[in-house]
Structure 1
């Protein structure tokens, strides 16, 4: 997959905040880019840093301006944190994997020379990914809004108890059950928490939202795939167990009984830089180490 795009002139490099080797790698990337007259700024990929609205300002010896690309060095967590920033600013995001799976990353560290060369030539494609917007109310005046690239979770806040919830789609109630939680996922996030909870794998270009109950105490608790314009509402009914609202793994709020959580597609997509010609099935098999021969050939 390659298309001709404008080569970036100002790049923001975000890094895993605790990897000892990432600083040297970031400086190596910055050296190559600066040698080709690209302005570079390096910042640790912590939530505090990435929530700073001034972080996308990148200076060189001549001027200061906003970045036109984000490069994330780390695993999927680093890419997720950087996606929040790049999505907010409307910048393309290139992930370089330093983690174990790196499903959201485009390249491994050994591919960096080729990746940087193609970046400088504008030889890459940009792929748009669906994201989520969430609006929660606790019935007592408390309101929370957030955004997610992978998923929004409404989970029980106390491990020993069950969460009682109902689920509505476009104002119509479709389920009610006791459970550990409910996940709403994008197609991108279908291979994360949602897959572990028994949801289907969705191709990232599928235009849909995914709803998956987690450990529901009922015989019939199938995942739902809805239209992307659907409004999904999760209502908390438990009087003894509050719910935790979580966006891309980050706790947002504790919700008591009577709270409602509305989830819709966001108007702020993420744009991933793509260079590889690998198809999505090839990525899936490779990243998840799927035994495609099945168990019969292992006897």
Structure 2
């Protein structure tokens, strides 16, 4: 019987990642896994099917892909697993790590639980991204797990855009850009642009304008059967740049259009921790779940001269 195969993707530029990689290989081999290190520099290019095939080579027969790094490294690893059905499991070596499942110090326990099959798999929806550019007959197609962001290419000028929902025009305005996001990506770029936090089990897409000059330029949330569209107006003094997950980029000349809808192939994430998303939010953002009055009362009781004394 052949060994269970685990593909490892690591952030190669950080000393702690290299140390974690050595320990990970040792623990996986001790648990009976075949550990294979993937060169995650083989990244996809937007709309290039050859790069897609090349980046996913050798991944389809793995039990899972184990990622050592932060959310950026996990997004790179998602390029390997998208369309393969192989789940991702993230070891957080970054700062926030919403996509990671456990931290570096829990590595040995995590491998033991993997070996015992004590994990579940959840699916996260992705965006199917279609770009149409002037003078080109065929559209370019891509995808995103977190978000597709249209930003101005000229940093000194605004970009003029029109937005549409389900093919119907909704508004137009000048702005620095627009974030089109999944629920998973609501805690990433969309969050920093003022968008809402959406629980990952909500099947929704978000549109969040960046620094818009308009009265009606609020974040939008639409359902799974809808589509979101953007067009760079011919009056725009700046062209644009579309970026998917901070990785795959495509130039957007004036007159270009982008449409996103729910993609047919989700990303699968392996889960060892059954903690609810609320607890994850509190932990990652260090949210104050105790009010200041409670803190003051607790501090006063602790500093009281009679505190801790018995009658």
Q: After TM superposition, is the score higher than 0.5?
A: yes
| TM, length-normalised to structure 2 | 0.86
Cα shift readout 1:72-102 (whole Å, capped 9, x = no counterpart) = 0001100111112112322110000011111
- Preserved contact between residue 127 and residue 143 of structure 2 (Cα < 8 Å): yes
Q: Distance in 1 between matches of 2:209 and 2:190?
A: 9
Stretches (4+) displaced over 2 A: 43-58, 291-299
Deviations 1:138-166 (A, max 9, x none): 11117422111100011111111011000
Q: How many angstroms apart in 1 are the aligned matches of 2:201 and 2:112? A: 27
TM-fit CA distance, 1:203: 0.2
* Structure 2 Cα separation of the partners of residues 77 and 158 of structure 1: 25
**CA deviation string 1:242-285 (max 9, x = no partner):** 01111011251111111110111111111111111311000011
Offset, 1:172: 0.6
Residues 150 and 115 of structure 1: CA distance in aligned 2, closer, same or farther (over 3 Å): same
Match of 2:161 among 160, 165, 168: 165
Preserved contact between residue 56 and residue 67 of structure 1 (Cα < 8 Å) = no
Counterpart of 2:8 in structure 1 is 13
Q: Which of 146, 149, 156 matches 2:142? A: 146
Partners of 2:55 and 2:34 in 1: CA distance: 16
Which blocks of at least 5 consecutive residues in structure 2 are unaligned? 45-50, 297-311
Question: Who is 2:283 aligned against?
Answer: 286
Paired residue for 1:252?
249
Contact persistence 2:226–2:261 (CA under 8 A): yes
Secondary structure of the corresponding residue to residue 166 of structure 1: strand
CA distance in 2, matches of 1:216, 1:295: 35
Q: Distance in 2 between matches of 1:145 and 1:203?
A: 27
* 1:272 maps to 2:285: no
What is residue 202 of structure 1 aligned with on the other side?
198
User: Are the counterparts in 2 of residues 45 and 82 from structure 1 also a CA contact under 8 Å?
Assistant: yes
Aligned to 1:107: 102
Alignment correspondent of 1:3 = none
State which structure, 1 or 2, has the greater radius of gyration over its C-alpha atoms: 2
How far the C-alpha of 1:51 sits from its partner, in A, is: 5.2
- Distance, in Å, in 2 between the alignment partners of 1:283 and 1:243 is 35
Q: Structure 1: any 5+ residue segments left out of the alignment?
A: 1-7, 59-64
- Quote how far apart the aligned CAs of 1:220 are: 2.2
* TM-score (structure 1 length as normaliser): 0.89
**Separation in 2 of the partners of 1:242 and 1:177?**
14
| 1:116 counterpart residue number | 111
- The size of the alignment, in residue pairs, is 286
Q: What CA RMSD, in Å, does the superposition of the two structures yield over aligned residues?
A: 2.1
Deviations 1:95-150 (A, max 9, x none): 00011111110000111111111000000111110111111011111742211110
Q: CA deviation at 1:296?
A: 6.9
